[in-house]
Amino acid sequence: MSGTTGERWPRRRFLANGAALLAVGGGSPTQGESGEPRGKTTSLLHPLTSSLRKDSIQVARAERSRPLRLVTNWYAEAEHGGFYQALATGIYADYGLQVEIRMGGAAVNVLQLLAGGAADFVLGSSPDALAALQAGIPLVTVAAFFQKDPQCLLAHPGVGIERLEDLRGKPIWVSPGANLTYWPFLRAKFGFSDEQKRPYNLSLTPFLLDKYSAQQGYVTAEPFRVRQEGGFDPVVFLLADYGYSPYATTLETTRRFAEDHPEQVQKFVAASIQGWHSYLEDPRPGNRLIRQDNPNMSEALLAYSRQALKDYGILTSGDAATLGIGAMTHQRWQTYFQEMVALGTAEANLDVRQAYTLDFLPNRSA
């Protein structure tokens, strides 16, 4: 029977550990000398070796009797609402799927969970996918639920900070992960400098004490926390609205799993899309399961987060405006990849099309 588990997986970025996972799922991606895929095959992904195929078929038979396991990228929250909603309302069951959702936490390496067979799907982002591709890890993104990355910078009102560029020279509290994601973008496009960075440790206190500072956050969470702890509404700069273009809350699996279980992957994508539509309409079933997994999550924050998802068009803007929730396009991936190459965070010789596939989406771009 479908269900959740309150087990808290430690969460840790896999970037430094990618090399250790090279052997998982059939080896590193294959590409032609030009960087384009070698050629069309009958498989939706590059073929695996025959020995791996025999092993994976045996594993596939054993896996049919157990639930699909989704590991999220943080503790249960509204940002995972569509998946919990699909579980709570029986949408996954309607598609003939048994599903189990497991929470991420403060230090998870989701790729290790995929590699070790402890997860079938994980939630990630475009930067994660490029980092995995660069490390030779056989991961593939099959849907992108957040068209806009919720990453934002927060500033104090009434101190002359009205534009993102007004933060140049100001102290900004950021996490180490910023160096591999949005900070190079801010540095190149808005003239930020590394001297501005201050270490962010999940506490709002340093930001609240210095009204001329800024800090990172998610538009779906930190503005609410600032209001609760600081007593004011911060100035919010959603980086996606300033040209920062990755997909977020992407659904990722291994190449082997996508090849061996295409029907399950397609059903899981379709059911999750339906779950998000349902959650945006009436989140109560999903919220009950979220709070069951994460009792520290308040109803007030859940309500705020869901409304922010709608107000900022996190799920429904961009490609999703015409192709529907979960959509991805070749053009968007290529544009993001080229931007990261220009910023020096991705290698120019990568074949970005091996980081994702559109084959499981109900509406596909050309």
pLDDT-flagged residues of the chain (< 70): 1-65, 365-366
Q: What is the pLDDT of residues 163-198, one digit of tens each?
A: 999 999 999 999 999 999 999 999 999 999 999 999
Give domain 151-242's CATH superfamily.
Answer: Periplasmic binding protein-like II (3.40.190.10)
Q: Is 1 exposed, middle or buried (0-12, 13-18, 19+ CB in 10 A)?
A: exposed
Per-residue confidence (pLDDT) for residue 260, from 0 to 100? 96
- Per residue, the 3-state secondary structure of the chain, as one string, reads CCEEEEEECCECCCHHHHHHHCCCCCCCCCCCCCCCCCCCCCCCCCCCCHHHHHHHHHHHHHHCCCCEEEECCCCCCHHHHHHHHHHHCCHHHHCCCCEEEEECCCCECHHHHHHCCCCCEEEEEHHHHHHHHHHCCCEEEEEEEECCCCEEEEECCCCCCCCHHHHCCCCEEECHHHHHCCHHHHHHHHCCCHHHEEECCCCCHHHHHCCCCEEEEECCCHHHHHHHHHCCCCEEEEHHHHCCCCCEEEEEEEHHHHHHCHHHHHHHHHHHHHHHHHHHHCCHHHHHHHHHHCCCCCHHHHHHHHHHHHHCCCCCCCCHHHHCCECCCHHHHHHHHHHHHHHCCCCCCCCHHHHECCCCCCCCCC
Amino acid letter, residue 260: D
* Residue bearing tokens 């061996």: 260
Nearest to 78 by CA among 282, 287, 281, 300: 287
CB-facing half-sphere around the CA of 238: CA atoms within 13 A: 18
CB environment 66-97: b (16+ within 10 A), e (fewer) = ebbbbbbbbbbbbbbbbbbbbbbbebbeebeb
Per-residue confidence (pLDDT) for residue 3, from 0 to 100? 66
* Structural fold of domain 3-147+246-355: D-Maltodextrin-Binding Protein; domain 2 (3.40.190)
Tokens of 66: 């157990």
* pTM (2 d.p.): 0.84
Per-residue confidence (pLDDT) for residue 110, from 0 to 100? 77
Nearest to 84 by CA among 358, 328, 282: 282
Span(s) in the chain for CATH 3.40.190.10: 3-147+246-355, 151-242
Per-residue confidence (pLDDT) for residue 366, from 0 to 100? 55
